[in-house]
Structure 1
Amino acid sequence: MVQSIKTFLMFEGRAEEAMNFYVSLFGDAAITQLTRYGAGEPGPEGSIHQAHFTIKGQSFMCIDSPAKHGFTFTPSMSLFVDCDNAAEVDRLFAGLSEGGQVMMPLDAYPFSPRFAWVTDKFGVSWQLYLPQS
């Protein structure tokens, strides 16, 4: 087996909603594997036991945790997205910031002509970056 590293996102009942949302925002994204909890299993029947999806060639996993926990995502770990153009930054910003929180407003910065840092409605932190020309 080839060793790999994936970003793992743990939700409490919103994994499918989040995964579908992310896949809908990116043109190069797909759900590649999905298993659900069945009757009598630890999680609520039909919730996500484990799912795999890709965005821009990067692999992600997500689950609906059957165990309640006292923590969630933190902005100290964020998904850094290299965008192809300003329109992509703007589109992703509009989608990811809706219902979320803007941590750095969409603007030009010394390190990028178009950049924003947002936490989406699921609590996942995203940095949207356009490289200097």
Structure 2
Amino acid sequence: MSKATPFLMFQGNAEEAINFYISIFEDSEITSLTRGGTEGSVMKATFTINGQEFMCIDSDIKHDFTFTPSLSIFITCDTEKEIDELFEKLSDGGGVLMPIGDYGFSKKFGWVNDKFGVSWQLNLPS
């Protein structure tokens, strides 16, 4: 196996989500984007967040499921400013699963679902 890549399936808003993510995370970029299927939809895209590659698509098939917090993206932050800003931006229009706080296993931790339904755990180690 050469690598494992997180794969996100959206239903019509993949490009909006990608642009949101690369706007709030430093050292992030779209590395490829192919449109197809329904006009404006993403057939396949790759983007990076601080060197970590992600793949995503817009599904032309409607599903009765979406993202769930049982699988989340875990971000280790470097500063309090960074965790506070990411928490605010990612939770805007989404939902807070665990407010930022000291839960004993971390100096500062928060868990959110963003406005696209993707779950993020934000951690500031001790």
- Calculate the TM-score normalised by the size of structure 1: 0.92
Moved over 2 A (4+): none
- Is 1:115 matched with 2:109? yes
For the aligned residues, what is the CA RMSD?
Answer: 0.9
**Secondary structure at the counterpart of residue 109 of structure 1:** coil
Give the C-alpha shift of residue 108 in structure 1: 1.8
Match of 1:90 among 84, 88, 94: 84
Q: Deviations over 1:9-43 (max 9, x none)?
A: 00010000001001101011110001001xxxxx2
The number of residue pairs the alignment matches comes to: 126
Identity of aligned residues (%): 60
CA distance in 1, matches of 2:105, 2:3: 30
Alignment of 1:1-133 (within 5 A): 3-37=2-36, 43-132=37-126
Which of 1 and 2 has greater Rg? 1
**Secondary structure at the counterpart of residue 87 of structure 1:** helix
Give the C-alpha shift of residue 3 in structure 1: 1.8
**Secondary structure at the counterpart of residue 112 of structure 1:** coil
Paired amino acid for 1:4: K
CA distance in 1, matches of 2:47, 2:100: 27
Unaligned ranges ≥5, structure 1: 38-42
Unaligned ranges ≥5, structure 2: none
CA distance in 2, matches of 1:110, 1:100: 25
